[in-house]
Amino acid sequence: MARLRQERAVRTREKIVLAAASVFEERGFARASISEILARAGVTKGALYFHFPSKEALAQGVMAAQGDALELPGGTAGLQNLIDLTLYLAGALQRDPLFRAGVRLAVEQAAFGMRDTTPYQLWIEAFGVQLVAAKERGEMWPHVEPERIARLLVGAYSGIQLLSKFYTDRADLPERVAEMWRCLLPGIAVPGMVAHLRIDEPLAALSSVPEGGLRPAPVPAGGEPVS
């Protein structure tokens, strides 16, 4: 019984986070209303406040869960995997509502008085794992420090996606991320490695996927998508 209740609580929380993400993404934080989030989630006010005592807590929940609905590409950790991951994320920013909302809130959070580094730390750690492996495999220059490069990449990526959003509604984001890599790789990877890394192939595959098309939206483990 206790486990059933726990599972139900997890599903309810996921429903609320997905509903909040869709409302935050459409309206922005200031104009997002709790009643609209309740309606989309199909939960009671009590359930919502049990999980998230304030609108700020909801925003924090969405920021922290931004990657939960993504099916990150697998493969051996290293530079190629990291490049593939960043190009996959460019496609996800064009399509995935939870990721879009989480990134939007993370960038705009100071406008509503928040300062939460969790959403950035999440990606710094994910990128860092790939870079540590790359370094161990001898893919990078010896002086390159994985943690510092991970932070540089997450910072640069955050700004590049922001400009892409303002200029082209993120239509050119995969191309801009590929360009970032073409400029950065010679300063990070050893020459023999640079020649082997594919930047354009996954890009072509991603940008040929129409908005909302081809692949079904990923469903988070144990949860139901809120439409």
| Interacting residues toward its own copies by CB under 8 A | 28-30, 104, 107-108, 110-113, 115-117, 120, 148-149, 151-152, 154-167, 176, 179-180, 182-188
Return the exposure string of 30-64: e unless at least 16 CB atoms fall within 10 Å of the residue's CB, then b.
eebebebbbebbebeeebbeebbeebeebbbbbbb
Shortest Cβ 187–its own copies spacing (Å): 4
Q: Which is nearer to its own copies, 172 or 223 (CB)?
A: 172
Cβ atoms of 87 and 206 within 8 Å: the answer is yes
Residue 136: closest CA among 220, 212, 77: 77
Q: Between 113 and 213, whose beta carbon lies closer to its own copies? A: 113
- Residue number, 133 or 184, with CB nearest to its own copies: 184
- Is 22 within 8 Å of 97 (Cβ atoms)? yes
Measured distance CA(117)–CA(120) in Å, rounded: 5
Do 22 and 227 contact (CB within 8 A), yes or no? no
CB of 69 to its own copies, least distance (A): 22
The closest alpha carbon to 66, from 122, 108, 28, 125, belongs to: 122
Q: Given the complex with its own copies, which of 110 and 221 has the nearer CB atom? A: 110
Closer to its own copies by Cβ: residue 111 or 217: 111
Q: Min. distance of Cβ 184 from its own copies in angstroms? A: 5
Q: How near is the Cβ of 210 to its own copies at its closest, in Å?
A: 24
Least Cβ distance, residue 104 to its own copies (angstroms): 7
